Structure 1
Amino acid sequence: MSDFTEDLDDLETAEDFLRFFHVTYDQRVVNVNRLHILQRFHDYLSADSGMEGLDGEGMSTRYRIHLERAYLDFVTSSAIAEKTFKVHKEEARKMADRFVPLDSLLGSPVA
């Protein structure tokens, strides 16, 4: 196991990851979105096919980029809008199913 992966094993909280990778963060954003940030971080890492063969420094850089991107997703958005977890995806679908166009509420325009 490399030093990088050993260091990762010691990280437990979202704040641990953010501090370790030197990502500047607002505690209020993390308090509301910690699980969503970590899930999105995981999703970005899983989708990154270019990680094989990187040394510890290369891996660390790539992890930092993905973590910062995951954090920033929730600075200007919400968990429901980002649909991080299945429950949010289902809620967004339900909301779309309940959409009623304004025209249908007002009736046909009078000519």
Structure 2
Amino acid sequence: MDSLTDRLKALSSAEDFFAFFAVPFDERVVQVNRLHILKRFYQYLHKSDGLSGLGEVELFKRYRELLAQAYQDFVQSTPAREKVFKVFQDADGTQHVQLASLRDSLADRRVQRAA
């Protein structure tokens, strides 16, 4: 019989994870937040203590709880508030571009087109 880890490696989409762990979900929430949910699930797994000492059944249950928790984070909040990815962590999701770098980039493109 395959281990839980081996079975997880075969999953390729957020929906696969929800189906595997039998976690009910709203497709609209997952469509918009799939990467955020899976990243948060991964973060929860790495912060969880004592997972290595659990048997397959207990480990499955704990993973299921953490996936459901990650999903709920995005049912009740938004990616911008949860700040799972670096773009949202840096400057509250706002990126700053120097005007000089835009000018230089535009000048470089003009030169490339002329050549």
Q: TM-score range by the shorter chain?
A: 0.7 to 0.9
For structure 2, the 5+ residue unaligned runs are: 95-115
Corresponding residue of 2:66: 66
Segments ≥4 residues shifted beyond 6 Å:
none
Tell me how far 1:48 sits from its aligned partner: 0.4
Cα RMSD of the aligned pairs, angstroms, is 1.8
Tell me how far 1:93 sits from its aligned partner: 7.1
Contact 1:80 1:91 in 2 (8 A): no
Q: Per-residue CA shift, 1:11-34, capped at 9, x if unaligned?
A: 110000011001100000000000
Could you state the TM-score of these two structures normalised by the residue count of structure 1? 0.79
Corresponding residue of 2:99: none
Contact 2:87 2:93 in 1 (8 A): no
The 5 Å alignment of 1:1-111 reads 2-92=2-92
* Percent identity over paired residues: 47
The code of the aligned residue for 1:74 comes to: F
Corresponding residue of 2:105: none
Could you state the TM-score of these two structures normalised by the residue count of structure 2? 0.77
Q: Distance in 1 between matches of 2:3 and 2:84?
A: 30
How many residues align? The count is: 95
The code of the aligned residue for 1:77 comes to: S
The code of the aligned residue for 2:72 comes to: L
